[in-house]
Amino acid sequence: MGIKEKLPLLNSEKKGTRIAGYVVYAFIGLMVLGAILPNPPDTGGETTATTATTTTAATEEDDNLTVQAVEKMVGKQQSISVDPVSGYVVIRRPDQDYWNLVLQEDDATNMFEKLFKDPRVNLVRISTYLKGVDEYGKEGSFVGTRFIMSRETAEKINWNNFLYSNLPNVADEAYINPVLLKD
């Protein structure tokens, strides 16, 4: 039994069905060959430039900012979320006791410095929470400090000489719980 007998469209008695069979099987064969053979290299000048740009963009997409990349820069935190498209990083620091929270501005400053060394980071929000009792006597977790900084602001800072106590003054947005400001 030959190949013609095994392929139903080629074994038809109608001439039109056999012709359609040859076209269909040729198309399938070309698709298989296209999947197996490697793509030819570009040889045109303008086309090469476009391909190089596309390749660079694909590489950048493959190298998107991730939670794991942020953790490598600043260590594990209670919560980290990342928008890889905009480069927006949100960090929630673990709940702190009142006295430990006072020292957190220095850590936040170090985090900002490390994060903005990565060109994929464009905006960062770092919030540290405070364990305590609210004005109604309920125990819980409250925002102790929250700082938001953009790349534009970070690029203005000389990190080698920057004093962490100036963070509230230079951050794009800063919130310090009034409890921390009481004497």
Task: Give the tokens for residue 1.
Answer: 């039994």
8 Å CB contact between 77 and 124: no
pLDDT band at 152 (very low <50, low <70, confident <90, very high): very high
Percent of the chain with pLDDT over 90: 21
Whole-number pLDDT of residue 158:
93
Chain segment 38-77, per-residue pLDDT in tens:
554 444 444 333 333 333 333 344 478 888 888 888 887 7
Strands (E) in the chain, as ranges, are 79-83, 88-96, 123-133, 139-150, 173-176
Give the C-alpha separation, 109 to 163, whole Å: 9
Structure confidence at residue 170 (pLDDT): 94
- Is residue 167 over pLDDT 80? yes
The predicted pLDDT at position 156 comes to 94
Residues 88-97 have pLDDT tens digits of 999 888 776 5
- From 56, 97, 107, 112, select the one nearest 179 (Cα to Cα): 97
- Per-residue pLDDT band at 150 (split at 50, 70, 90): very high
As a CATH number, domain 67-181 is: 3.10.310
Start-end of CATH 3.10.310 domains in the chain: 67-181
Cα separation, 103 vs 128, in Å, equals 11
Residue 171: predicted pLDDT: 94
